[in-house]
Amino acid sequence: MVENSLRDKRILVVDDEPQLRRMIVDVLRAEGFCAISQAGSVMEALAVFRETNPQLALLDVMLPDGDGFTLCEYLRSLSAGAPLPVMFLTAKNETEDRLAGLRTGADDYIPKPFSPQELVLRVCAVLRRCYPAQPDTLQLAACTLDLSNAEAIRPNGERVSLTVKERDILTALARNANRIVTSEALCDAAWGDSFGYGQSLMTHVRRIREKIEADPSHPASLVTAKGLGYKLVVQG
């Protein structure tokens, strides 16, 4: 089983072979990954991407309505914040094809057939490299955030307690530090569901800012990505 810090990473699997696609999804789920979406074409992948905002994409090169290289560029153009990590899973194993994949900025290239164990190990390696584990203590612009003790420590030494929900939201943001996290993902982290909690999230974000920002009306650490979600800006 993969470590807890990786299990909630959102993974998009794109392959036009339903049987292989299901096998990849089943293998990843068996290892503990719990947020996997799938698509069988470029158009379907774009629609699923907009719905799920994945943190890693596994792309086949040959698709019925296009190719994985072009799809990679599309997905990265839609990504907010840091570029979307991409791995190519494909039967095309010629040197020029591998170079073409790497030129798009792909993070890995796995030729078919591949073993389930190799797939999992490579997926974990890319996720660890792109989403390094965050320490329990984070330095923000106006305070030190101590997630293990659920406290914000101000420069004068004052310790401000965080509620359970506030820590849940900040933990989800810290796992993706300096990257945008969707409002839906934050609601899932705090309440286990995204439906109907949008207003509650906004209220909690306002209260968190009152605790961690020097000027809550002009936040420097917990910033809004309009129409998308929020980002925790970590120093250093």
Domains in the chain, please, with CATH?
4-130 (3.40.50.2300), 137-232 (1.10.10.10)
Per the DSSP assignment, residues forming a β-bridge with 182 are: 229
Q: What is the pTM of this model?
A: 0.65
For residue 81, what pLDDT is reported? 63
What is the spatial distance between Cα 236 and Cα 229, in angstroms, rounded to a whole number? 23
pLDDT tens track for 36-77: 999 999 999 999 999 988 999 999 999 999 999 999 998 988
Give φ, ψ of 214 to 5 degrees: -70, -35
Contact 11, 45 (CB under 8 A): no
For residue 104, what pLDDT is reported? 77
Angle between helices 164-174 and 183-191 (to 10 degrees): 130
What is the spatial distance between Cα 110 and Cα 216, in angstroms, rounded to a whole number? 46
Query: Residue 157: in which H helix or E strand, if any?
Result: none
Q: 228 Cβ partners below 8 Å, 6+ apart?
A: 53, 80, 180, 182, 183
For residue 169, what pLDDT is reported? 95
For residue 105, what pLDDT is reported? 78
pLDDT less than 50: residues of the chain:
none
